[in-house]
Structure 1
Amino acid sequence: MTDAKPKDSSEQEFKLEPDTELRFEVENPDNKSEKVVLELKSGNAEIFGTELVKDKPYFFWSGAKVAVFTWHGCTLELKGKTDVAYVAKETPMVMYLNVHAALEEERKKSEAEGKRGPIAMIVGPTDVGKSTLCKILLNYAVRATRRPIFVDLDVGQGQISVPGTIGALLVERPSGVDEGFSQLAPLVYHYGNNNPGANTALYNTVVTSLGEVTMDRMRSNKKANHSGAIINTCGWVKGDGYHQILHIAQAFEADVILVLDQERLYNELVRDMPDSVRTLFLPKSGGVVERTSKSRIDSRDARVREYFYGTKTNLYPHSFDVKFSDVRIYKIGAPSLPDSCMPLGMKAEDNMTKLVQVTPGMSVLNHLLAVSFATGVEEDVIRTNVAGFVCVTEVDMDRQTMTVLSPQPRPLPQTLLLLSEIQFMDSH
């Protein structure tokens, strides 16, 4: 029997039957420091594929949307104020486990035949649980002793780095319940906008580069090569967004495409993808809710704050002055011109991947700057991955300096910086 027994106004106990999940949300914008504590009292349970430890407290703050699933039944205790908390009997977790089992069979086959493991893309409109399904499949793979590569192409949220980037990460252990996957040595490329449609030529270029490097790294790491990759994509699925999905599938040589919650997209992909690519339709979880524009902005802001200050473990970023004369700042993409105004043989989209020098000044205040590994513009800057990010917190025009927030102390590892449209107001 599933029931909730309130002990007091802020403490509840839930007894879950097998194959059910407890869903709860923490939404208190007036008190960001207010937390909810979850404990597993008996049985077994997991959050997005990460197993819970019995009697260990797990903390969740404002904005958290959590689903605790049990295969065999369990007792859970919740302390603190939740907006909603209920037990759901209808859940797609069994289907998601079947997908993992099918991918695992492909991994075993790749080991036996000495071939590359499965590359699975997850696609669908916004707010259908793509990131959550990625996390579940990656966690199950790691629990099966695999070392898959997580590829995040969603520039709107940025799970591997900050929003406005795409990246790849070798996953060697399950994600933390409240901290996500370990961020050691990620491969990150600068895009500079939270909208994949702002510069489709640039987006496709960096996706191609990330695909090439990811495939090379898989070939050089036997364990990762057999484990394959899980790819998270943006929620833009119509028009140019659909063409981006086709481009991603080609760039990463996808074997499997998992379509969440949109039959039209599923049927289009079945029609357009080669027979060698399997396309599967999956339902979204009933606990997935549509986010407001404000919650998306808050989520992006929180992701940048985490980059500099950490989540559970406090990080202490550095702040120092940089002379205008010591750095070169560029943005990617010049204003678009009609084809009739372009030089002979040049297309308008070539302008969208052009480097344009930016004069340091008030226009860069509160913007993120990507520190490129490129040493000069004579290199292919766009196809070069980045070392990390700094944020411009002050600009002094008299002294010709800008103050930057940086994860590491001065000096900057490179002096070629790329301007991002992502902004962050440092309130620390």
Structure 2
Amino acid sequence: MDMSRKELDLLHGHQVAIIPGYKRSVYVELVEGQAEIFGMFMSADERYCFTYPHRAVLATYDGCRVAVEADNCDLEVQVIKDDPFPALVGAMHAVLEQQRQDAVKSAGEVVGPKVLVVGPMDSGKSSCCRALLNYAVQAGWNPTFVDVDAGQQGLTLPGTLSSAILRAGTNELGQVDHAERVDLPFGRVNLNEDCKLYQAQIWKLAEFVQSSFSNAHLRASGAIINTAGWIDSNGFLLLLEIAKAFQVDKVIALENVYLGHQFRQWAADHGVLLDVLFARKPTCLAERSIETRRDYRDCMVQSVFVRRPKFTVTVPLSNLIFYQVASFHAVETRNGKKLGVSNQIAHAGNCRDRLLGVSIAPNLVVDVKQFPLQGFAVLLSFQTKTDEARLISTVDLNLLPAPVILLSTVVSAVTVRESLGVMN
């Protein structure tokens, strides 16, 4: 394959937007000098690869030379000058670092920063989180990363709300070196499809995070919380719920000053100590289309089931329970009566080619939605007559006690079956 290569001499404060074309890859090398990607310093002996739909921003404060390659003939490189975003994130890190140091000196009286990053879609929330997390890790901390954006997950697969303790930095979300990750099921990518369920899962996830803060180092390291881009009406109310559940003390409002002032007003009205910081979005971040967002979800699913080790198993269909979590809500029957329903059994046929969460819940007597996931699976095929189901999973389903509860999601996984060559 033909490769196009360009070497760029960047000056102080310059950035390079790394935006691969459709189904293309871009490779970046540091030739000389110093540069960083999302706050992680680049190594001169490493070749960094970014594949569509992932994107990144390279920044330098002292000047450098970088080489950029792409697997097509028309390589366009966008150099950004005088964008204040990297410097603003660096200043924010300095504020968080001081609070971490104060937490250590106070012997527990002061806690580390709990930061809520908010803003509309494509305002740089994920980029801001990545940079702040990487700066913290490089300073010797182990911050907790909380991602409650179910549609564009940065820790695990879509349709979940997650938290993890970071052990090392990351240049690309989805490849985070972490420990003690908790994935709670939501099953949807749009929060407004079940706001009550989302709210309940937020509080449950906050319980898991708070329990880890019994460790003094983790408590001082603090937490960075990434959110979805729904900021008006009920979306703002959900953001307030996140702030309350995680007891945040700082809000970073990106690209929407009014949103930050809303938080300030709420804090003043309720006597909450809350610092609100403001920043404009990175200059190079363009708004992503619905198709690009869908491609991102497909890419995340593909990376787990096709590009990484997994288990392809055949298990008794009768050992599986397909389930859908939901909040308690009213439904209207054909005769006009209203019934209150919550979680419900799903049919295997409706779960085929969809991402499934493997629950650790022991049975349906318990509240399944409050139990974390232990992995993910895709139902490739099934036969009711022979009582067989063929699945690909991140855990060996044959080793799990029956029944195995599989939680359905709206996330398509048809590309997994196609990649494996499994026929309809």
Q: With structure 2 as the length reference, what TM-score do the two structures score?
A: 0.90
* Secondary structure, aligned partner of 2:18: strand
Matches within 5 A, 1:146-295: 146-176=141-171, 180-219=175-214, 221-273=215-267, 274-295=271-292
Distance 1:319-1:279 versus aligned 2 partners, 3 A rule: same
Is 1:39 the counterpart of 2:33 in the alignment?
no
Alpha-carbon distance, 1:180 to partner: 3.1
Matches within 5 A, 1:29-428: 29=22, 32=23, 34-80=24-70, 81=72, 84-91=76-83, 92-113=85-106, 114=108, 115-176=110-171, 180-219=175-214, 221-273=215-267, 274-310=271-307, 315-333=308-326, 336-337=330-331, 351=341, 354-360=342-348, 362-411=349-398, 413-414=400-401, 415-425=404-414, 426=416, 427-428=419-420
Alpha-carbon distance, 1:25 to partner: 1.8
Contact 2:3 2:69 (C-alpha < 8 Å) held by counterparts: no
* Secondary structure, aligned partner of 1:337: strand
Alpha-carbon distance, 1:263 to partner: 1.7
State how far apart, in whole Å, the 1-side matches of 2:149 and 2:343 are: 23
State how far apart, in whole Å, the 1-side matches of 2:173 and 2:373 are: 26
Distance 1:176-1:42 versus aligned 2 partners, 3 A rule: same
State how far apart, in whole Å, the 2-side matches of 1:377 and 1:329 are: 11
* Secondary structure, aligned partner of 1:408: coil
Q: Which has the larger displacement, 15-24 or 222-231? A: 15-24
Number of aligned pairs?
Answer: 402
The C-alpha deviation readout for 1:197-237, integer Å capped at 9, x for no partner, is 11011100011000011011112x22111010000001111
Distance 1:83-1:296 versus aligned 2 partners, 3 A rule: farther
Alpha-carbon distance, 1:184 to partner: 4.1
* Secondary structure, aligned partner of 1:162: coil
State how far apart, in whole Å, the 1-side matches of 2:141 and 2:18 are: 30
Q: Which has the larger displacement, 195-204 or 58-67? A: 58-67
Alpha-carbon distance, 1:330 to partner: 1.6
* Secondary structure, aligned partner of 1:411: helix
Distance 1:238-1:341 versus aligned 2 partners, 3 A rule: farther
Contact 2:4 2:75 (C-alpha < 8 Å) held by counterparts: no
* Secondary structure, aligned partner of 1:106: helix
Identity percentage over the alignment? 27
State how far apart, in whole Å, the 1-side matches of 2:6 and 2:173 are: 21
State how far apart, in whole Å, the 2-side matches of 1:179 and 1:423 are: 18
Q: Which has the larger displacement, 77-86 or 279-288? A: 77-86
Contact 1:161 1:307 (C-alpha < 8 Å) held by counterparts: no
The C-alpha deviation readout for 1:309-337, integer Å capped at 9, x for no partner, is 34xxxx23221223221122221237733
* Secondary structure, aligned partner of 1:84: coil
Give the equivalent residue in structure 2 for 1:4.
none
For 1:187, the aligned partner's letter is: V
Q: With structure 1 as the length reference, what TM-score do the two structures score?
A: 0.89
Contact 2:378 2:391 (C-alpha < 8 Å) held by counterparts: yes
The C-alpha deviation readout for 1:56-89, integer Å capped at 9, x for no partner, is 3222223342211011110111122465312211
- Which stretches in structure 2 are left out of the alignment for 5+ residues? none
